[in-house]
Amino acid sequence: MAQVYERVALIGLGLIAGSMAHAMRRDGLAGEITGYARSEETRKVAAEIGLVDRVCDSAAEAVKGADLVVLCVPVGAMGGVAAEIAPHLDKGATVSDVGSVKRAVIEAVGPHIPDGVHFIPAHPLAGTEKSGPRSGFAELFDNRWCLIVPVDGSDRAAIDRLESLWQGMGARTDEMEADHHDLVLAVTSHAPHLIAYTMVGVADDLGRVTDTEVVNYSAAGFRDFTRIAASDPTMWRDVFLNNKDATLEILGRFTEELFALQRAIRTGDGDHLFDYFTRTRAIRRGIIEAGQDTDAPDFGRVKS
Is residue 190 pLDDT above 60, yes or no? yes
Per-residue buried b or exposed e for 145-157, using 16+ beta carbons within 10 Å of the residue's own CB? bbbbbbbeebeee
**Band (263; pLDDT cuts 50, 70, 90):** very high
**How do residues 210-226 score in pLDDT, each as one tens digit?**
566 666 666 667 777 77
User: Which residues of the chain does CATH 3.40.50.720 include?
Assistant: 5-176
In the chain, residues under CATH classification 1.10.3660.10 are: 180-292
Return the bridge partners of 175, or none.
Answer: 148
- For 213, 231, 245, the CA distances from 219, given in Å and listed in that order, are 11, 19, 33
Residue 228 has a pLDDT of: 78
For residue 191, what pLDDT is reported?
86
Average pLDDT (112-134) is 92
Q: How buried is 136 (Cβ within 10 angstroms: 0-12 exposed, 13-18 middle, 19+ buried)?
A: buried
Name the class of domain 5-176: alpha beta
Topology annotation, domain 180-292: 6-phosphogluconate dehydrogenase C-terminal fold (1.10.3660)
